Amino acid sequence: MSLLWETIQQEEEYPIFRLTYLSKPTKPFTDADFDDIESKSVKANNERDVTGLLVVNEDRILQILEGREEAVRELYNKIEADSRHTVLKLVCAVEDEVRLLMTWNMVVRGLNGTPPDLLDQFSNVFDDLLHAESQSEVAIDHIELFKEIALFGTIPEQV
């Protein structure tokens, strides 16, 4: 695996706040929905110094957001009100010393065309997180899986 695919970590001058949630779409996401979310998020998140990853697989949505706590919580409140989905669970909201999605202002991926083994892994992890106790920590292995899924076939755009 090349260095491009490895976790990029950067210690920030302030604590990084990482929030992960699960939701389900209120209707199937279209390519236009993905384009709309990604195009608006990349610019806005760059201005907020928020990085993130959004993975959508039919009836499962997982999102990880990182940045200053105030900016991430403000963004999450806005996301919660988005009528395109219903939040099922706030998995965790934790402080960390490093940003795991350093160059990803927002990567949005639908999983059409993703290898079946990655789809199965995503579904299993999603279900495990959905049924875990509240405020369960998302393992670094899970974040690496989500990044691998998101990077399948493309490299995230940098702003």
pTM of the full predicted structure? 0.81
3-state secondary structure 56-81: EECCEEEEEEEECHHHHHHHHHHHHC
Long-range contact pairs involving 117-126 (C-beta distance under 8 Å, separation at least 24)? 118/145, 118/148, 118/149, 118/152, 119/57, 121/145, 122/55, 122/57, 122/60, 122/62, 122/146, 122/149, 123/57, 123/60, 126/22, 126/57, 126/60, 126/62
- Give the pLDDT confidence score for residue 97 in this predicted structure: 86
> 119 lies in which domain range?
14-151
Domain membership of residue 133 (yes or no) is: yes
**pLDDT at 152 (0 to 100):** 66
User: Within a domain: residue 157?
Assistant: no
Domain containing 73 — which CATH number? Answer: 3.30.70.100
Residue 5 placed within a domain = no
Q: Consecutive 10-residue runs of the chain (159 residues): their mean pLDDT?
A: 41 82 92 87 90 89 94 95 93 89 77 84 91 78 81 47
Domain membership of residue 6 (yes or no) is no
pLDDT at res. 159: 39
How many domains, in total, are found in the chain?
Answer: 1
Residue 96 lies in a domain: yes
pLDDT of residue 11: 54
Q: Does 112 map to a domain?
A: yes
